[in-house]
């Protein structure tokens, strides 16, 4: 029996671009959870949004969104692994119970790289 080579032919160039863009985040964290990717993309497309709006839009619990945004920012307390430093969480000056989510310069660069790959 002859072993056939692995099939690697791209059959949808547009989706391949999305895949390459997602890989930018995966290179920062090899086992990047999909929730974290969704949170990054939401924040990138809704700059300076409230954490609660992210939870509502993505149907995440407060705990899930906190984990995801911790990974995207400084990291999770009590964990040795640092965060990705792609976003900052800032207390809303109008309501101390709310946080606004903003891209860091590295986050803005990554968002631009996503757009460059997908849209050219």
Cα–Cα distance for residue pair 120/118, rounded to 1 Å: 6
Share of the chain above pLDDT 90, in %: 66
Q: Mean pLDDT, to the nearest integer, of 60-85? A: 88
Q: pLDDT tens digits for 10-64?
A: 899 999 999 999 898 888 888 888 899 999 999 999 999 999 999 999 999 999 9
75 vs 68: CA distance, rounded Å: 9
Q: Work out the pLDDT band at 3, boundaries 50, 70, 90.
A: confident
Q: What is the mean pLDDT of the chain?
A: 91
Q: Kindly list the structural domains of the chain, giving each domain's residue range(s) and its CATH number in brackets, ordered by start.
A: 14-119 (1.10.10.10)
Length of the chain: 120
Q: Half-sphere exposure of residue 1, counting CA atoms within 13 Å on the CB side?
A: 3
């Amino acid at each position: 029996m002859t072993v056939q080579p692995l099939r690697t032919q791209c059959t949808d160039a547009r989706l391949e671009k999305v895949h390459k863009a997602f890989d930018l985040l995966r290179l920062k964290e090899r086992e990047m959870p999909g929730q974290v990717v969704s949170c990054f993309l939401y924040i990138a497309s809704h700059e300076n949004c409230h954490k609660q709006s992210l939870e509502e839009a993505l149907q995440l619990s407060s705990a899930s969104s906190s984990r995801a945004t911790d990974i995207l920012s400084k990291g999770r307390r009590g964990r040795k692994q640092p965060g990705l430093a792609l976003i900052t969480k800032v207390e809303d000056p109008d309501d101390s119970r709310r946080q606004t989510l903003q891209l860091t310069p590295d986050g803005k660069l990554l968002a631009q790289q996503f757009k460059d790959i997908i849209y050219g």
